[in-house]
Structure 1
Amino acid sequence: MTTATIEDLKALDRKYIMHPFSSLQSQPRKDVNVMTSTNGIVLKNADGREFLDAGSGLWCANVGYGRTEIIKAATEQMEKTSFLHSFSNFSNEPLIRLSERLLEIAPDNMERVTYANSGSEANDTQIKLVWRYNNVRGKHEKKKLIARWGGYHGTTLGAGSVNGLSVVHRSFDLPIDRVLHTDAAEYHRRPAGIISEEHFSLYLANKLDKMIETEGSETVAAFIAEPIIGSAGVIPPPAGYFREIAKVLKKHDVLLIADEVITGFGRTGSWFAGPGLEMKPDLITVAKGLTSGYFPMSACLVSDAICEVLYNEKEADGFFGHGFTTSGHPVGAAVALANIDIIDKEGLLENSTRIGSYLLSSLREELDGVEFVSDIRGKGLMIGVEFDAVPEIRRAFSDIASVGGLLSQACLDEGLIVRGGHGRVIAAIAPPLTLTTEQADQIVLCVKRAAPKFAKALRAAQLDRA
C-alpha cells in the first residue's frame, strides 16, 4: 500500500461508514486506524505500527489470531456446504456435533441448544423463550425482566433494553416496557455502611426481593446477569452474591439467565464462569469465545426444566416460530468445533488461570502506589485496572468519558490496545488465552509506562477533578 492509498481508504471510511459505539459528530474529523494483519495477539495497521491486543478484539479472540486449524476447518466446510439452514427438520453434521459438544461442557441441567448470530440476538431469543415458557404455563402476566445497572447484554431492542448502560438507551426509546433494573454487584462502589462482601451480597439480594414484591411475583419472569460484568468494567460479584440471589429467585419463581458471552470458553479459567460463582442458571447465552470471533455465531443453552414445558405445549403442536436465516450455519459450527478443540487440546483453560494469576499479581505489584490507580481486580484473563480522581475514598472523575479516552490513548501510544469501561475509567485487560509470561510482562510494562503519561494528559486537560 502507498501512503496515498491508505489516505484514500481513510477518506472513504469517513465518508461512508457509520461506526458502532462512536461519536458521529467527531467521526469525520478523527484519524482512522486501518488494520491490515493479525497474528497471535499482535495487530498491525496500515502505517506499519504493531499493537499488543490486550482486549481480544471485543473480548472475543480467545485462541488468538491467524489460527490455521480454524481457517482450514472453515475452508473445508465451505467447500462442502457453503450454506445450509436449520429450519424445520433440516440439519447438518457440524451443527449436530457442536450441540453435543456444548452440552458436554455445559452445566448438567442444560438440555438443548438453539442458535443465532450474535450475543444480542441470542439474548433477544432468551427473552422470547422466557415469555413463551410462562405463556405455556398459563402465567400470561409473568413477563417482566430484571437486569442490573452496568450490565451489558447487546444492542437489539430486547437485549438493548436489559442493558444497564444509558449510552445504549439514549435516543433509541429504550428500555422497552416490562424491563426493570436493580443495582450492580459492584463492591468498589458500595454504599456507606457496608462492612463486608457478604454483607453487600445480602443487601443487594434484599433490594431485589423488595423490587419483585413491589412489582408482584406474578408479573416478574426472569433475572439476567453476567457472572462477571464485562463491558462496564470487569466487576466480579462479591462473595456469596449469586447464592443469595438464587434464594430470592426461587422464592418468587423467577428464572435466571446467565449471559456468558464474554466469560464463556476459558476467559476466567473454566468453560463457563457461572458454576464457580455459585450461579445456577435456567438459560445460558454464549457467543464471542464460541468461535473466537472467526465466524458470527451465538447460542442459547436451554435447561431441562424449560424444555419440559416448551416441548409439552399442545397448541399447534408447539410450533416454534423463531429463528434466523443463518441460525446454525454449518461453517460457523465447524469453526466453533475447531475453536473448542484448540482450547481443550492446548490447555487454554489452565493457561488462563495460571497466566491470569501471574498477570494480576504483576499488575498489582508494578502499579502499587501509582497515581490515580484505585483498584486492580479480575479472574483468569479478565482483569480491570481502575483509575479514580481520589483513589483513597474511591471517588470517580467528574468527566468519565473524556478521562477514559485519555487513558485508552495513553495505552495505545505505548502499543497496547485495552478495552475501556462504560461509566468508569478503566484499562480492561482480556488478551487471548494463549498469552505467555513474556507477553504478560510486556502488557504490564506498557500499562506502567502509560500511567504517568495519562496523569500528565489529565492535568493538561484539567480533567483531574472528582
Structure 2
Amino acid sequence: MNVIRPNSLQARDIAVAIHPQTNLAKHEQDGPTVIVRGDGIRIYDDSGKEFIEGAAGLWCAALGFASDRLADVAARQMRTLGYYHSYRSTAHPAGIELAEKLIELAPVPMSKVLLQCSGSEANDTAIKLCWYYQAAMGRPEKNKIIGRMGGYHGTTVAAGSLSGKPDMHVDFNLPLPQFKHTLNPHYYRFHEDGETEEEFSTRMADALEAMILEEGPDTVAAFFAEPVMGAGGVIVPPATYFEKIQAVLKKYDVLFIADEVICGFGRTGNWWGSQTFDLKPDIVTCAKALSAAFMPVSALLINEKVYQAMVAQSRKLGSFVHGYTYTGHPVAAAVALETLKIYEEMDLVGHSRRVGAYFQDRLAAFADRPLVGDVRGVGLIAGLDLVTDKAARTPIPSMEPVERHVREAGLVLRLIGNRITFSPPVIIDESGVDEMLARLDKALTGVEKELAL
C-alpha cells in the first residue's frame, strides 16, 4: 500500500475524482499515478520517474505528449473564433477544411463527413445512422446491430451495448436487446486443433451467417468491426477473415461500419486499417489520432448511399435531428487539420511501415520466451499472449506481477486479460523501439523468475 501524503496531488485526487476503468476501492487506498509532463514518447510522474509510454495513452497520442506547434494553432484559433456550432446550416472554415481533407484521405469513396467529439460518440452516432438509413429505406424493423465478442466501440449506452465486453455490461443493464455479438476472431486462443487460419475464418463467417439467419435477415441492420481489435487485446484478423465476412454482409444487405478509432492514421502501416485489410465499409468512424489526442474530436465518413437516405429522411421529417453542442468545434477542427499536415510532412505511412516492420521483427523474438505463447501485430500495434503452458495455451493466472514489473522497468503498456498490448506513439523510431523492448525484456525476466518459469 502506498503512503499518501496529506495535501499531495494524490490525496487531493482521491478526495474529489472518479476515474474510468478503475477499481475505486483500491484507488481510495493506493491513490493515482500522477503524470505531470510529457516529452516525445516519454512521460514523467510527480516524483520525477520517467516512463516510455508504449500505449500512446489510450492508443491515441500519436505525436507524443506535448506539441508547441499544435498549442500555437489552438491558441490562434481561440483568438479568432474560439467556439461556434454547426447547427442549422452554420459552418466555419476549420470544419470545412477538415471535412474536405478527410474525404480526400478516405480509404474508399465517401460522400460526406459528420464531425463529433469522441470515438464513443462517433460509434453511437453511426448506430443511429444505421437505424435512420433502414427507416428511410422503408424497413424500420431491420434494426439489429451485430458486433463481435471482445470488440470495443465505446462506453455510451449504445456503443457500450455494441461492445462485446461483458465487464462493461454488468450492472449497467446492458446490452440493449437489439445488439448481438458474433464470435471473436482470435485465432491463437480459439482455433481448433489442426485448423488453419483460412479454415478458422470460414468458421467465423459461417457463424455470422448463422446468426443473421437465426435473427432473420430482414431484422439485421449493420455489422461493426475494428480492422484490428484493440481493447479486446490487439487481435489481428486471421487470413481471409474480412474477405469472407464481407461476402456474408453483402449477401444479406447488411451495412458494414469500420471502426477506425484506433486503427486510423498510420497505426497499421497505412492511413487506414481498412486499406491494410481491404475493407469496403459504408461508414468509417475515426477519432484518437485524428488530433493526436491533443483535442477531443471524431468523425464519421459516410458513403453516398447512406447520405442520400439521410437527405430523403431529412426532407420527409423536416430536419436531421441529431447533434452535439461541440460538434465540429473550431479549435478541435483546427488542431486536427494541423495534425494531418504534420502526418503528411513526416510521411506517416512510410514511417509507420519502416519502423513498424522493425518493431514487429524485434518483438517476434519474444515468442521464444517461456512466458509468451503468441506474438501478433501489424505496423505499430501488437499483442503478446502470456501463458504458463505453451502446449495447452494456459493463460497466466494473474497479470499483477506483470503490471508491477513493467512499471518498475519504466514502461507503460496496456494489459488486457492475459495479453500485453503495444501501440506506441507513431513518432517512435528504431532506437525508441530498442529501448522499449529492452525494458520489456527486463520486466518479463523479472516475472519469469518470480513465477519460476
Please report the TM-score for the alignment, with normalisation by the length of structure 2: 0.96
Aligned to 2:128: 128
Distance verdict in 2 for CA 1:7–1:32, change over 3 Å:
farther
**SS of structure 1 residue aligned to 2:38:** strand
Distance verdict in 2 for CA 1:78–1:405, change over 3 Å:
farther
Aligned to 1:454: 447
> Aligned partner of 1:80: which letter?
T
CA distance in 2, matches of 1:4, 1:167: 30
Distance verdict in 2 for CA 1:109–1:259, change over 3 Å:
same
Residues 128-207 of structure 1 aligned to structure 2 (within 5 Å): 128-193=128-193, 195-207=195-207
- Alpha-carbon shift at residue 232 of structure 1 (Å): 1.4
1:250-300 deviation line (CA, Å, top 9, x unaligned): 111100111000000111111111122121111111010101110011111
- Runs of 4+ aligned residues of structure 1 deviating over 6 Å after TM superposition are 3-6
User: Does residue 1:111 correspond to 2:104, yes or no?
Assistant: no
RMSD between aligned alpha carbons?
1.7
- Alpha-carbon shift at residue 71 of structure 1 (Å): 1.1
User: Does residue 1:426 correspond to 2:419, yes or no?
Assistant: yes
Length, aligned pairs only: 451
Distance verdict in 2 for CA 1:310–1:420, change over 3 Å:
same
> Aligned partner of 1:439: which letter?
G
Contact kept, 8 Å, 2:118 with 2:298, in 1: the verdict is yes
CA distance in 1, matches of 2:63, 2:383: 20
**SS of structure 2 residue aligned to 1:443:** helix
CA distance in 2, matches of 1:200, 1:21: 32
- Alpha-carbon shift at residue 318 of structure 1 (Å): 4.8
1:304-335 deviation line (CA, Å, top 9, x unaligned): 11112221236545511111000000000000
Contact kept, 8 Å, 1:63 with 1:342, in 2: the verdict is no
| Correspondence for 1:409 among 401, 404, 408 | 404
CA distance in 2, matches of 1:368, 1:149: 26
> Aligned partner of 1:173: which letter?
N
**SS of structure 2 residue aligned to 1:247:** helix
1:333-356 deviation line (CA, Å, top 9, x unaligned): 000011111111111221111111
CA distance in 2, matches of 1:314, 1:431: 42
CA distance in 1, matches of 2:311, 2:450: 59
Contact kept, 8 Å, 1:312 with 1:318, in 2: the verdict is no
**SS of structure 1 residue aligned to 2:285:** strand
- Alpha-carbon shift at residue 395 of structure 1 (Å): 2.2
**SS of structure 2 residue aligned to 1:207:** helix
Gaps of 5+ in 1: none
Aligned to 1:350: 350
Aligned to 2:305: 305
CA distance in 2, matches of 1:278, 1:195: 24
CA distance in 2, matches of 1:299, 1:396: 37
Aligned to 1:257: 257
CA distance in 2, matches of 1:45, 1:151: 31
CA distance in 1, matches of 2:91, 2:6: 44
Aligned to 2:377: 378
**SS of structure 1 residue aligned to 2:257:** strand
User: Does residue 1:228 correspond to 2:228, yes or no?
Assistant: yes
| Correspondence for 2:438 among 416, 439, 445 | 445
Aligned to 1:389: 388
Please report the TM-score for the alignment, with normalisation by the length of structure 1: 0.94
User: Does residue 1:325 correspond to 2:325, yes or no?
Assistant: yes
Distance verdict in 2 for CA 1:300–1:194, change over 3 Å:
farther
1:428-461 deviation line (CA, Å, top 9, x unaligned): 11111111111110011011110021234446xx
1:74-131 deviation line (CA, Å, top 9, x unaligned): 1100111111111111110010000000010002321111121111111110010000
User: Does residue 1:22 correspond to 2:22, yes or no?
Assistant: yes
> Aligned partner of 2:387: which letter?
D
CA distance in 2, matches of 1:352, 1:107: 17
Aligned to 2:47: 47
CA distance in 1, matches of 2:395, 2:40: 35
> Aligned partner of 1:129: which letter?
L
Contact kept, 8 Å, 1:371 with 1:452, in 2: the verdict is no
Residues 329-344 of structure 1 aligned to structure 2 (within 5 Å): 329-344=329-344
Distance verdict in 2 for CA 1:140–1:405, change over 3 Å:
same
- Alpha-carbon shift at residue 9 of structure 1 (Å): 1.7
- Alpha-carbon shift at residue 182 of structure 1 (Å): 0.7
> Aligned partner of 1:13: which letter?
D
User: Does residue 1:89 correspond to 2:82, yes or no?
Assistant: no
CA distance in 1, matches of 2:296, 2:405: 31
Contact kept, 8 Å, 1:231 with 1:420, in 2: the verdict is no
CA distance in 2, matches of 1:303, 1:347: 27
Distance verdict in 2 for CA 1:140–1:27, change over 3 Å:
same
Gaps of 5+ in 2: none
